[in-house]
Structure formats: C-alpha cells, structure tokens
Amino acid sequence: MPSTNDWINNPLGVVEEMFGASQNSSDSGWEAKVTEFFRQRLMEKDAHTWVPSLNDVPLHYLKPNSLVKFRCLIQDMFDPEFYMGAYDTVDPSTKAKVLRCGKYKDVTECGVDLDSANMVTSERQTFYCVPIPGESPWVKEISSCVVDCFYASTCQARVVPSTSYVPSRQKRSYEDDDEDDMDTQPQAQGHAHNGTPAAAEAQGNGDSKRQETEAPSGQKASSPPLDLNFPLPGEKGPACLVKVYADWDSFKLNDTMEVYGILSVSPALSALSDQSDTSSSLILDPAECMETAEELRVHSPPASLVPRLHLIHTQRLAHNNPLLPPAALEDSAASLASTLGEMVSVRAELLAYFTQLLLGDVLAAEYLLLHLISNVYARRDVIPLGKFTLNLSGCPATAGPAYTEQLYCALQQLVPSAYRLSMTLQNMNQLRLVPRKDYVANRLLSGALQLAANTSLYLDETQLEQGQLDPAGVRNITALGNVISWQKVDYDFNYHQMEFPSNINVLIASEGRSLLPSDCHVHLQPQVTPPNMEAYLGSALTAQSSSQLNKFRLYLTMARTLDYSISEEVTKAVEDDFVDMRKDDPQSISADDLHSLLVVARLLCLSLGQSALSTDAWSRAKHIETLRKSRSEPQGCLNGNEP
C-alpha cells in the first residue's frame, strides 16, 4: 500500500499501479477504485489539511503532478474533450509496446502508437474555476493558517521544504514596474481588497499590479497580459482549468467547491509557446486553424498562469467559512451543539456591536442581523423564498463616504465573502455586472454579479450623484433590480439571454429611499452623533477581539444553515392574526406584508437558534415590523407605484 507521502506527492503512481493491476485481472472497475482510494485517504482525520492548497501556496512552490486542493467557483464550462484513455507506446529502439493510461494527464508519453488496437477514447469535461469571488481576508488568513501549522511538521509536498516562506506575503516579481507603466487596459484588475477601503476604490483607475505578475515566468513579456476573467475587479489568486472525469452534469455554473486533484503544469500545454513555429503548418492542418488566436489563448493559457487540475475528489461547499466543517450541518451536529446553546448570548453581543456601528439604532441593528443570516432556501415557481434585501437609508452623508465604507469593513470582517459596489455613475455606466458570452474567444466574460451563493453584495448608493445613465448603465440597474426582486441574473449570450438563479444578500446603503427595490426598508435614526465619525467607528472596529469576531462569524453561518418549520397550531394562529388585522383595517396589511412578516419571523427564529416558529417570535416579528413601518411613513413614497 502506498504511504501517505506517496499519495500526496505522487498520486499518478497510485493511479498507474491500479491501472496496471486492472490489466492483469479482468476487473474493469479500476477507475472507481482510484476515486474510492483517494476519498478514503482524505476522510482520515486531518488528512485533507496535509494537501497543499492552490489558494494559499503560490504555484511555483507546488510540485508538479502532486495532489493539491483548490477552493473555487466554477466560472465557465468549456466544451467536453475527447482524450486517449489508454494507449500503446512503442519504444523506438526495442519496439516493445507498453500500454499506458491517459487518465489524469494532459500529455502522452513519447512514441504513441496511433494505430494500436488498444487505444481507448474517453471523454472528460473542463471547467474554468476561479477563487471564490469576494472572499474576505479573514477567510483566507484562517484557512492558510490551518495549512501552515501542518507544514511545520509535514512539508514534504513542497518543492522547497524551507519554512521561511510566509503564505500571506505576495511575491513581487521583477517585471512589476514595467507592467505599471504599460498598463493601459480599461478594465484594469485592481489589486486585492486587503481590508482597507482604499483598495476598493482603486478599481477602474488602475492600481495596476496584475495577477499575472505573481507567476514568476517572464515568457509573457511580448503579448498583452491574459485576462484571468475574475468576476470582481481587484481579485487575485490563481485561476485553474479543472478536468472532470465523471458525473460532470451534476456541476452547475457558480457552484463553489473544494477540488482535490493532480496538478499539471507541463509547459507543453501553452498554446502560444511556439506559435511562430507552427504557423507554417497552420494553413494546412485543419485541426489547428479552426480556432482564433483569442480562443486558443483562453482555452489553452500558459500552464504557469492557469494550471490544470485533474479532479479526483470534490467537496461541495455549502459555505466557505473555515471555522465550520464544510459538510452539511447534520453530520457534525453533535460538535456544534455547544455553539447552538450559546446562540442567544452571541446574538445579544452581536446586536450590541451592530447597535454601536449603526450609531445606537437598535431596530436597524436587529434588521441588519436578520439580513445577514437570510438565504434563498427554496423557489416556488418564479418566487425565491427567504430573500431579504435590506435598504438602510439615512446613512449620514455629511461625513462623506467614510461611514458607509467603515460599515462595509465591519461587515466584511464577519461574513465569509462580500463585495462593495459603490454605485457611482461612472461605475454604473462602465462596470460589467452581467456576465457576457464572448464568442470570439468562446468564453463567458465574467461580471460582478457572478457571485457564489450567500455572498454579501453591499451597494453604496450614497455615492450616486446626479447625471446621465447610458444604456449600459440602465442595463446594469435593471440587472441589480432583477437580482433583488427575483434572485436571478440574465447572462447575456448575445443571441439570447439565459437565466441563472442567484443567491446574493443585497444590502443597500443610501441617503433617502433607494431607487432599487428592496424587501425591507429601514430608515436609520442615529441616537448618537459622534463628532468624528471615522474615529468613532474605528474604535468600535478595533474593540472586537479576534476570538469575539470568530464567535460572530460562526454564529452567522450557523444561523443561516439551520432548519426551520411551522407547526399546525402556529399556522392557525398566524392565519387568525392576519384575518383580525384585516378586519380592523384592510389597508393596514396586504398579502405582500404577510410575505415579509413571514420572512422576518423565520429569520428571527433562526437568529435565536430556534428551528420552529413560536407565537412569541411571531408577535416579536409583528412588533418590529410595526416599528419599522412607523419609521418610514413620513418619507415613504406617496406616488404609490410599485418600486
């Protein structure tokens, strides 16, 4: 049996061993055996933490053909490809034929006998995967820490076994400065949000260190830099072509998952490596002239930038919170029971924290909490259930963008992935929100609304000034409206549109009522007016210890994934209540109001760790809804049209 060392460092050895064994016996199920073997290995305690992660370790520290993992989102699906599943090679000197296995590999061994009768053609699917868009810095930090502490003891997977390497530090390669100067591309990929608001601002006007520069290769100097097609501007990290060998129909676009696979970085994969060499034969070889240069670039990018990963095992991620086991909650219910007990107290602490952030407004703080644990848990024909878009109006504008920015920072520290879209006119007119199919390069150009489930989208409407929206801007606003009302994004396929369901928590910060629709509108009523807003919020932010923050993070993810039901009696009570309210004043409550009441009641229960609606929670929901409505009445919109 191969040792631990082997299955991580040389997984292909394991595969070949099993393949070889299957040739002698007539047993054909070797493929299943391989996946089962790796699944078993990874199931072992902590075994998955020994596998180096592409998210944290730069590519050049990873050993080719070793087992790596990658936490990612499926950004695009390429066409299926046929490959040689098994083939014969002929040794030119001895003429000896050897049967080889082509699975989990990109390039064949030398001397393939194309006419061999043993050749088996198989099919596999390629997905273009990017790191989860908008992943908060703390998520990256914690998951790389987990990896790091294991490196201290078992660093055999790395080529350079030195421990001097710190994963969080980004290497700057020598060509950085050149790139800075020559970068004139309009959609410059700004650099990461490293937690400071300045980074978020930088997109669009060229903080121009590009992600390519992280790859230490100098081969790209002549051609324009490759757009790695991240959904959000300013993302970094490796993109990856994941080759899937089985069951690819079960994957959906925008799924998040952790992939365990064999890393392949053979330089032969780069389509552009020796173009001048091949151009002479291009004319006559029909196999090669069918694709445009763009398409080749996109579908066969240099492996040093976009490594290939041959998938062996996947773990679907219900969330990307590293503090919680990634599996569905039922499996680990026992270990989380203690946390469940603490939920009420954590909730109170979190509420106090939010109250402080929202300048002493308890009601707004409560709604913010409910918003953060909302989740589209089902769809009934076209209606997404459980969405809870919050419009926080009355954000103090006098302090400039500082307040909304600080608020975003605070939220980003709590949720696993978030993105702040500052709704300036320029952004609305120029940003690409909706993904669009590029038929020349034959890929899906990503847009800012291609987000993983439960990503917090923070729309800063205080930045919006008067001016003209061009057609693109109108389309962007419509797209945002669609996300909020129907939780769907219509991807633009030029000849037609295709609808993809989304599950994005949208929070709109505005001065007056937002121009976008929302499920719930809370007007902020500050109780305190700190003279220096920035200092006030800054101190509130720093006052939280990291253990406290971790508790909050755990709480928010937990509350979201809890089960929920309504008993018969409560249903009855709710019905009676509704009928009574209507009897008094039919105008006071409509069907829509009941909808939102039910959502609020559900979220209230979940926030308290309860999994069934109680009459208490129902009356509490009614209470806070009344409070909220009485607040928005004075400046509620009177033209009465549906938003």
DSSP label at 170?
P
Element (H, E) at 312: strand 308-316
Question: Are the C-beta atoms of 415 and 458 separated by less than 8 Å?
Answer: no
Count the Cβ atoms, other than its own, within 10 Å of residue 362. Answer: 16
Tokens found for residue 403: 């307040």
Residue 564 in contact with other proteins, rule: CB under 8 A: yes
Using CB under 8 A as the binding criterion, the count of chain residues that bind other proteins stands at 92
Residue 330 in contact with other proteins, rule: CB under 8 A: no
Q: Which one of residues 397, 598, 608, 627 is an interface residue with other proteins (CB under 8 A)?
A: 598
CA 473 from chain center: how many Å? Answer: 25
Q: Which one of residues 3, 26, 79, 93 is an interface residue with other proteins (CB under 8 A)?
A: 79
Residue 566 in contact with other proteins, rule: CB under 8 A: yes
Closer to other proteins at the Cβ: 47 or 425?
Answer: 425
Count the Cβ atoms, other than its own, within 10 Å of residue 180. Answer: 14
Closer to other proteins at the Cβ: 80 or 341?
Answer: 80
Residue 380 CB, nearest distance to other proteins (Å)?
A: 4
Closer to other proteins at the Cβ: 525 or 610?
Answer: 610
With H, G, I as helix, E, B as strand and everything else as coil, classify residue 440: coil
Residue 285 in contact with other proteins, rule: CB under 8 A: yes
Closest alpha carbon to 393 in 525, 527, 523, 526: 523
Residue 635 in contact with other proteins, rule: CB under 8 A: no
Residue 76 in contact with other proteins, rule: CB under 8 A: yes
Closer to other proteins at the Cβ: 117 or 152?
Answer: 117
**Pattern 192-211, binding to other proteins, x per CB under 8 A?**
--------------------
Closer to other proteins at the Cβ: 84 or 305?
Answer: 84
Count the Cβ atoms, other than its own, within 10 Å of residue 400. Answer: 13
Closer to other proteins at the Cβ: 173 or 442?
Answer: 442
Question: Are the C-beta atoms of 424 and 463 separated by less than 8 Å?
Answer: yes
Q: Kind of pairing, strands 256-264 and 120-131?
A: unpaired
Residue 608 in contact with other proteins, rule: CB under 8 A: no
- The string of DSSP letters for 353-409 reads HHHHHTTT-HHHHHHHHHHHT----EEETTEEES---EEEE----TTTTHHHHHHHH
Residue 592 CB, nearest distance to other proteins (Å)?
A: 4
Q: Which one of residues 501, 512, 530, 538 is an interface residue with other proteins (CB under 8 A)?
A: 501
How far apart CA 517 and CA 333 sit, in angstroms, is 37
Residue 174 in contact with other proteins, rule: CB under 8 A: no
Footprint (CB under 8 A) of other proteins, residues 458-477: 474
**Pattern 243-282, binding to other proteins, x per CB under 8 A?**
------x-xxxx-------------xx----x--xx--x-
Strand order in the sheet with 488-492: 443-445, 436-438, 488-492, 497-501
Q: Which one of residues 69, 71, 105, 432 is an interface residue with other proteins (CB under 8 A)?
A: 105
Q: Measure Cα distances from 145 to 52, 134, 157, 170, 544 in Å.
A: 12, 19, 16, 15, 20
How far apart CA 624 and CA 605 sit, in angstroms, is 14
How far apart CA 155 and CA 148 sit, in angstroms, is 9
Q: Which one of residues 2, 500, 515, 627 is an interface residue with other proteins (CB under 8 A)?
A: 500
Closer to other proteins at the Cβ: 264 or 320?
Answer: 264
Closer to other proteins at the Cβ: 336 or 598?
Answer: 598
Residues 296, 449, 492, CA angle at the centre, nearest 5°? Answer: 55
Applying CB under 8 A, the span of 50-58, 103-111, 147-155, 183-191 interacting with other proteins comes to: 103-111
Residue 45 in contact with other proteins, rule: CB under 8 A: no
Footprint (CB under 8 A) of other proteins, residues 360-399: 378, 380-383, 385
Residue 554 CB, nearest distance to other proteins (Å)?
A: 26
Residue 112 in contact with other proteins, rule: CB under 8 A: yes
Q: Which one of residues 25, 96, 181, 286 is an interface residue with other proteins (CB under 8 A)?
A: 286
Residue 165 in contact with other proteins, rule: CB under 8 A: no
Residues 346, 352, 353, CA angle at the centre, nearest 5°? Answer: 90
Closer to other proteins at the Cβ: 36 or 592?
Answer: 592
**Pattern 122-141, binding to other proteins, x per CB under 8 A?**
xx------------------
Question: Are the C-beta atoms of 116 and 123 separated by less than 8 Å?
Answer: no
List, in sequence order, every beta strand (DSSP E) within 395-551. Answer: 418-422, 436-438, 443-445, 455-460, 488-492, 497-501, 504-509, 520-523
Phi then psi for residue 582, to 5 deg, are -70, -30
How far apart CA 365 and CA 360 sit, in angstroms, is 8
Residue 106 in contact with other proteins, rule: CB under 8 A: yes
Applying CB under 8 A, the span of 7-15, 65-73, 314-322, 572-580 interacting with other proteins comes to: 572-580
How far apart CA 73 and CA 63 sit, in angstroms, is 23
Residue 584 in contact with other proteins, rule: CB under 8 A: no
Q: Which one of residues 430, 442, 525, 614 is an interface residue with other proteins (CB under 8 A)?
A: 442
Residue 598 CB, nearest distance to other proteins (Å)?
A: 5
Q: Which one of residues 205, 590, 615, 626 is an interface residue with other proteins (CB under 8 A)?
A: 590
Q: Which one of residues 120, 336, 363, 469 is an interface residue with other proteins (CB under 8 A)?
A: 120
Residue 116 in contact with other proteins, rule: CB under 8 A: yes
Closer to other proteins at the Cβ: 78 or 165?
Answer: 78
